[in-house]
């Protein structure tokens, strides 16, 4: 199975998410201008205490979601940071929020190296620490609530500041050719539907992880069998690895 096809496992989800976003605004309308400044990096995970917090995105029974989807096909929008809804300084209370990243990747390497590249891309989220923007990442779900500090709001922190840090970090990874960093705060967006899609994407990633790292190649006992059966390309990849190890 060629690598380009492998990198297109998430294509249907990318198309569906873009369709959801287009119900709110066209992508050209949502694109933010590149900032003239560089927002300060906290240099590592930093705590924002309750008394220092202006509000929380994804807090108090709301959803804070994140996901990163790769494809070998050209993205539907130019490289940049996109915002659907209010910017950080326009929000005053906790509400639902999503951070979605689409990556166009040149898949011109062997399968296991390609898998390692996917993991490298996934780990980027653990290394972005905008000052005053504290993401609490769950490694086992797509939940990513974010605390915004009062101090950062006084300095007019914007999603473009945060998004540019993500974008620049992704572009340092070899084979990454185009990046869309998308933030959603619009109250009419279907966050539950997005949560389901991102959960499906995580299942595919778990299947890839199992295929390349597990010694158990017995489909009959694997809890991810239904995912491999339903997603075109995963089953073929699984048997390719099985034959390779034989």
What whole-number distance in Å separates Cα of residue 239 and Cα of residue 211?
9
Judged against a pLDDT cut of 50, whether residue 190 lies above it is answered with yes
**What's the pLDDT score for residue 218?**
55
DSSP secondary structure code for residue 37 in this structure: S
Q: How confident is the model at residue 246 (pLDDT cuts 50, 70, 90)?
A: very low
> Which of 104-108, 171-175, 176-180, 236-240 reaches the highest mean pLDDT?
176-180
- Distances from the Cα of 209 to the Cα of 27, 93, 206, 223, 227, angstroms: 32, 38, 5, 13, 13
Say yes or no to pLDDT of 102 above 80: yes
Q: How far apart are CA 25 and CA 97, in angstroms?
A: 16
Interval 60-93: pLDDT, tens:
789 999 999 999 899 989 999 999 999 999 999 9
CA distance 208 to 205: 5
Please tell me the total number of residues recorded for the chain in this structure: 246
**Distance (Å, whole) CA 128 – CA 44:** 8
Question: What's the CA gap between 46 and 58, in Å, rounded?
Answer: 18
Sorted by where each starts, the structural domains of the chain and their CATH numbers stand as 3-189 (3.30.1650.10)
Beta bridge partners of 146: 57, 135
Mean pLDDT rounded to a whole number for the chain: 84
For the stretch 213-227, pLDDT in tens is: 654 555 555 544 554
Residue bearing the bigger pLDDT, 101 or 226: 101
d(CA 22, CA 207): 30
In the chain, which residue ranges form alpha helices assigned H by DSSP? 3-6, 11-22, 27-30, 111-123, 150-154, 159-171, 191-213, 225-230, 234-245
Q: Residue 107 in contact with residue 7, Cβ under 8 Å?
A: yes
């Amino acid at each position: 199975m060629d690598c380009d096809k492998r990198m297109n496992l998430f294509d249907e989800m990318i198309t569906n998410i873009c369709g959801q976003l287009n119900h709110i605004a066209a992508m050209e309308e949502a694109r933010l201008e590149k900032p003239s400044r560089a927002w300060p990096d906290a240099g590592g995970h930093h705590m924002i205490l309750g008394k220092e917090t202006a509000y929380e995105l994804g807090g108090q029974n709301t959803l804070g979601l994140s996901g990163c989807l790769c494809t070998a096909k050209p993205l539907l929008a130019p490289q940049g940071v996109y915002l659907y809804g209010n910017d950080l300084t326009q929000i005053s209370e906790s509400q639902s929020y999503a951070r979605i990243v689409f990556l166009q990747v040149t898949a011109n390497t062997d399968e296991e190296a390609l898998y390692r590249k996917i993991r490298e891309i996934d780990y980027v989220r653990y290394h972005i620490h905008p000052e005053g923007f504290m993401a609490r990442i769950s490694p086992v779900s797509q939940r990513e609530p974010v605390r915004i500090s009062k101090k950062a709001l006084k300095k007019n922190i914007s999603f473009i500041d945060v998004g540019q840090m993500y974008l620049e970090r992704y572009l340092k990874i070899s084979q990454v050719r185009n990046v869309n960093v998308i933030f959603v705060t619009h109250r009419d967006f279907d966050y539950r539907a997005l949560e389901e899609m991102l959960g499906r994407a995580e299942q595919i990633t778990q299947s890839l992880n199992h295929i390349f790292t597990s010694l158990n190649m017995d489909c009959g006992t694997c809890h991810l069998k239904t995912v491999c059966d339903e997603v075109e390309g995963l089953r073929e990849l699984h048997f390719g690895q099985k034959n390779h190890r034989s």
